[in-house]
Amino acid sequence: MVTRFPPRSSRPHGRLRILVASGAAALALAAGSVVPGIPLAPAAQEAQAADGKSTLTVAVAQSVDSLSPFLAQRLLSTSIHRLMYDYLTNYDAKDNRTIPGLATKWETSADKLTWTYTIRPDSKWSDGEQATAEDAAWTFNKMMTDEGAATSNGSFVGNFKKVTAPSPDKLVIELKKPQATMTALDVPIVPEHVWDKVGDFSKFNNDTKFPIVGNGPFVLTDYKVDSYVKLKANKDFWRGAPKFDELVFRYYKDQDAAVAALRKGEVSFVAGSPSLTPAQAASLKTADNIKVNDGPGRRFYALATNPGARTKDGTKFGDGHPALLDQKVRQALFMAVDRTTIIDKVFQGYAIEGEGYIPPRYGSYFWKPSAGQKLAYDPAKAAALLDEAGYRKNGAGKRTGKDGKPLDFRILCHATDPNDKAIGKYLQEWWGDLGIGLKVDCRDNVSDPWYAGEYDLAFDGWSVNPDPDFVMSIHTCAALPAKAKESAATDNFICDKQYDELYAKQLAEYDPAKRADLVKQMESRLYDTGYMNVMAYPNAVEAYRTDQIESITTMPSAAGNIYGQDGYWSWWSAVPAAGASGDSSDGGGSTGVLIGVGVAVVVLAGGGLLFAMRRRSTAEDRE
Amino acid sequence: MSTESTPALLKGAAGVDAVQTDGPAPAGPSARSPRARSTTAYLRYAAGKLAGAAVSLFAVLVTSFFLFRLIPGDPVKQMTGGRQVSTEQIAAMRKEFGLDLPLWQQFTEYCGKALTGDFGTSYQFRAPVMDKITEALPATLLLTGTAFVIYTAIGIWLGARSAWRNGSAGDRFHTAFALTLYSVPSFWLGLLLVITLSVGIGPVPGMFPTGGMESGSESGFAYVLDVAHHLVLPVVTLVAVEYARTLLVMRSSLLDEMGSDYLTTARAKGLRDDLVRRRHAVPNAMLPTVTLLFVNLGNTVAGAILVETVFSWPGLGGLFYQALSVPDLPLVQALFFIFAAAVILMNTLADVIYPLLDPRVGR
C-alpha cells in the first residue's frame, strides 16, 4: 500500500502546478481590475479625467438630517440647501453685507411694516420653469400656516402678518411690528409647482426623487445615506456656473481618517468639527500639495456666570452662587483669566484673544472695550476687587464671605470638549491663587443643569451669523423660560432692562450704521455687567489640496473660513487646479496591480489549502 | 484500510446511545419509540429555550425604554441647539414626538407599537426608525458577515493546529499573536491600517480607500468590486481582533479531547495523525466552539460600532453613535433592542442547534 503512496518528491511538482494555476488566476483578476470601467485601476481614473468632468470632493462627518429645507436643521443640510436653492438675499463674501439673491432689490414702507421685494427675471428652476414671486410667497405662506413646514425656519416668519405676490416679480411681506432682519431671511425658496404636491410636510424628506428641482448654483443629483451627497453644477445659474462640474460630500466619520483621505488625495477638502486639531493642522502644514487655511472663525468662546435663574414672571429657581450676583466678583474672576496663556497653550495659537461678544470677522458689529473699560489680566486688581466686595482671605488663604463660608464655585464643562477641560485646570490654578475654590463639572450633556439653573459658571460659545440678531436675542428678558427649568431661548438667564431697550431699538432700526452702533452698545453693556466674558475667538482651521483646487473664496474673502459659510461662495468659486485628474479616486495609482497581488496571495493560500485537504481526504484510498 | 467505523467511534466517544432502533415501534402510548421520545424531549427543550428568549426580549424592550430615559438632556433642546427656535416651536416639537405625555403613557404606546415592529419616528431624521435601520442593516451584515466567516475559519483552523502541536513554537506563536491582536483596541488598529495600507507609509504603498463603502460612481460588476475593495480594511480589522477568541476556545476544547481513548483507538488502527485530528478529534472539539460562534455572531453586530466609525462604514454602528449624541430616543431604543436581540437570538439558536450536534444536551 505504501508503495502506492505518491512519493514525497512529487509534492513540489503538485504545489508548483497549484502555484502556476493560482498565479494565472490572480493575474487574470489583476488584469481584470485594470480594464477601463472597473474602478480600482489607474486607467479608470484617466478615463474619468478624460471625459473632462471635474469633481470637488469634500469630507464631511455630519449626517444629513433631512433634505427638506422645511425640516433640515444641521449645518451640513442647511449648507447644502444654500447650494440647491436661492434665497431672497445673500451675504457678500467680502464683508458679509447684504447683497441681492433671488431678489434684486427691496424697499420698505414709511411705517416700516411693509417690505416689497423685486424678484429677478433670470432665475429658472432646474426643470426649466421660471422662478417667480409666487414661489417665494407660497414658501413663506406654507411656513406660516403649516406647523410641519415651520419646523426649521418658523422663527423667521413669526412676525409676518401677510405675504402676497401681486405680480410674478413682486413679493410683498407685511409685518406685525418693525423687523431689521428682513434682509437676513435665511429661508430657501422652493418651487411651488413641485412642492404643492407634498402632503405631510413634517415627514417629507425630499430624498427619493433625483435630481431635486432647485435654482441654486448646484443641483442635487444623488444621495446615499452616510455615504455621499452629489451635486452637479447648474450651468444656467444666474450668477454664473460653478467652475467644478460636480461637487461631492463624502462621509468620513472619523476626523483622523478624513485627514488621511486628504493626504492621499481621495478628498479635496477637510474641515474639522468645528476645526482641525492643532496636531492635525501642524502635520498637514508640512505635507505636499496641501494648504492649511487658518482663518478667523465665526465662533466665540466665553465664560458665563449664572445671574440667578428666573422665569419671565420673576420666579427664581436654580442654585447659582449668590456671590456671583455681585458685579465686582464677576469682574474679579475675569481679571484673573490670562487669555494670552489660553490662546498660546490651549488653542496653540489657533484662536484670537476675546474681547467683545461678536467676533472680529463681522467688522461692522465688532466691538472692543476702551482702555479704561477693559478687564485686562491683573490678578492684583482682581484681589482688590474681591476685598472690596467683602470676600477677604482667611488665615488658610481662602476667601470667605461675611458668613465665613469659603468662596467655592462650580463650572459646567462639556466633557467632549478638551478645551473646556484644559481651561478648567488653568482657572483652578489662577482662581486658587486668589483664594477661590473651583470644581470643574464636566458632563456629556450640560443642558439639564444649565436649564435648571443649577450651576455657578459655564463654558459657553456660539457661532455668530452675519446678522447678529439671534445671539443678541438670547440675552433678552423675553427669552427667559415661562416656567422654572423649562427649555427656553435664553442662553444664560440674563435679563437687563438697559440691554433690552437697546435690543428693541436695534430691531426697529433699518439704517445699517445706526443699527450697528446700537448693537455695539449692547455688547458694551454685556461686557460691563460681566455675566458673559469672551475669552477667545477660535479659528476655523481647515485644509485643501492645492493640486486639486487652484483657488477658493474664503468668507470674509481677505481672511476667513471655507466650510459652513453664510452663502455658497466657497464651492461656487472653487477653481480646479490645472492638471488635476478632476476626480478624487479611492484607490492609489497602483491599486489594481496591488489588489491583484493581494488576490494572488489569497488564491495561492486558498488553493494550497484546498489541494492539501484533497490529498489528505484521499490519502486513505490511496493507501 | 477503512474509515467506516468513524461515525460509530464518534458517537461512542460522545457517550451517546448509539443504538437506535429503526424497526417497528411496539403499539400503545406507553411504548413509544426512543426516536419519538427523543423528538418530544427535544421539542420540549427547544420550546423552553424559545420561551426564555421571548422573556429576555421583552425584558430588553422594557429596559431599552427606561434606560435611555436616564440620559440627561432634553432631546428637543439638543436638536434645536444653536438655532433660532421659538418657545412655541419647541413645545410643538415636544408634542409631535409625544414627549409631553406622561412617562407611563409613552411607555405603553412604545410597547404596543414595538410589538408590531413599529419603533416610532426618528427625532433627527423625521423618518420611521425601522426605515433607517433597514437602510443601514445590509452594510453591517455585509461587514460583520464577511468578517465572521473569515475569523471563524482562521480561528478554528489555527486553534486546531495549535492544540494538536501543543507547546510547539507554532502553538506559542499563534496563541501569543492572537492574544496580542485581541487586546488591541479595534479603532486604533483600524487607524493604523488606514495610515499604512490606505495612505501608504514608507515603502508600503496606499492600496485601499480610507473610508466608506463605495466610491459612488460604479454600477454592475464594477460596483461589486468597488464595495469589495472598500470592505478589505474594515474586515481585516474585525478579523484581527476577533479570531483569537475562536482560536482559544477551539484550542482548549481540542486539548480536552487529546488524551481520549477513541483517539488512541483510531491511531492504533493505523490512521494517519492528520486524519485522526480532522475526522475524529476536531468534530468533537467543535461542539463548544459552535456555541461560541453563535454568540460571537450576535456580538459582532454590536461590536462593529468602532470599526464602522473609523472606516465610515454606513451601518448600524454609525447610526447608533449618531442616535446617542442627540439622544434620538426612538432610534436609540430600537437599535439597543436589535443589538440585544441579535445576541439573544444567536444564543437561543446555539442552544437549539446544540442537541442536534450533541444529543446528550437537552435530555
Rounded CA gap, B169 and B192, in Å?
Answer: 28
User: Residue A609: what pLDDT?
Assistant: 58
Confidence of residue B61 (pLDDT cuts 50, 70, 90): confident
Give the closest residue to B208 by CA, choosing from B313, B316, B317.
B313
> What is the DSSP secondary structure assignment for residue B196, as one 8-state letter?
I
Q: Cell 452662587 belongs to which residue? A: A321
Task: For residue A38, list chain B residues with Cβ-Cβ distance below 8 A.
Answer: 221-222, 225
Residue B362 banded pLDDT, cuts 50, 70, 90: low
Looking at residue A36, its pLDDT comes to 31
Cβ neighbours of A156 in B, within 8 Å: 84
Q: Minimal CA–CA distance to A209: which of A59, A64, A68? A: A68
Q: Backbone phi, then psi, for A290, in 5-degree steps?
A: -125, 135
At B111 the pLDDT is: 85
Contacts made by residues B156-161, CB under 8 angstroms, sequence distance 24+: B156/B246, B156/B247, B156/B250, B156/B282, B156/B286, B156/B289, B158/B243, B158/B247, B158/B250, B159/B246, B159/B247, B159/B248, B159/B249, B159/B250, B159/B251, B159/B254, B159/B289, B160/B250, B160/B251, B160/B254, B160/B277, B160/B281, B160/B282, B160/B285
pLDDT band at B67 (very low <50, low <70, confident <90, very high): confident
**Which pLDDT belongs to residue A416?**
77
* Length of chain A measured in residues: 623
Taking only Cα atoms into account, the Rg of chain B, rounded to an integer number of angstroms, comes to 26
CB pairs under 8 A between A and B: 200
The amino acid occupying position A279 is A
Mutate to test the interface with B, among A157, A201, A225 (most CBs of B within 10 A): A225
pLDDT tens for B124-136 read 888 899 999 999 9
Rounded to whole angstroms, the Cα distance separating B303 from B297 reads 10
Pairing status of strand A408-414 against strand A457-463: parallel
The per-residue pLDDT for B108 is 86
* Opening angle at CA A276, ends A273 and A281, nearest 5: 175
DSSP state of B41: H
Q: Which of A122-131, A463-472, B279-288, B299-308 has the highest mean pLDDT?
A: A122-131
Give residue A574's pLDDT.
Answer: 97
What's the pLDDT at A606? 59
pLDDT beneath 50: ranges in chain A? 1-50, 582-593, 596-597, 600, 603, 620-623
Q: Look at residue B87 in the predicted model and tell me its pLDDT.
A: 67
Task: State yes or no: cis peptide before A211, omega within 30 of 0.
Answer: yes
Do residues A451 and A481 make contact, with C-beta atoms less than 8 angstroms apart? yes
Number of H helices, E strands in chain A: 18, 23
Burial class of residue B203, CB neighbours in 10 A (0-12, 13-18, 19+): exposed
Picking from B100, B199, B230 by the largest number of A CB atoms within 10 A of its own CB, the best residue to mutate is B199
| DSSP symbol at A120 | P
Show the cell assigned to B97: 414626538
- In residues, how long is chain B? 363
Dihedral Cα B296, B300, B301, B305, nearest 10 deg: 160
pLDDT at B204 over 80: yes
Are A96 and A466 contacting, i.e. CB atoms less than 8 angstroms apart? yes
Q: Which DSSP category does A561 fall into?
A: B
Predicted confidence (pLDDT) per residue in A403-418, tens digit: 888 999 999 998 878 8
Q: What are phi and psi of A184, to 5 degrees?
A: -130, 40
Q: Is A595 within 8 Å of B80 when comparing Cβ atoms?
A: no
Would you state the pLDDT for residue A41? Answer: 33
Point out which residues pair with A461 in neighbouring strands.
Answer: A301
Phi, psi of A299 (to 5 degrees): -105, 155
Nearest chain A residue (CA) to B215: A586
Query: What confidence tens digit (pLDDT) does each residue in B205-222 have?
Result: 888 999 999 988 888 899
- Looking at the partner chain, which of B89, B126, B207 has a beta carbon nearest the beta carbon of A591? B207
With cut-offs at 50, 70 and 90, classify the pLDDT of residue B259. Answer: confident
A156, A252, A448: residue with CB nearest B211: A252
pLDDT tens figures, A124-163: 999 999 999 999 999 999 999 998 898 888 889 989 999 9
A170/B93: higher pLDDT: A170
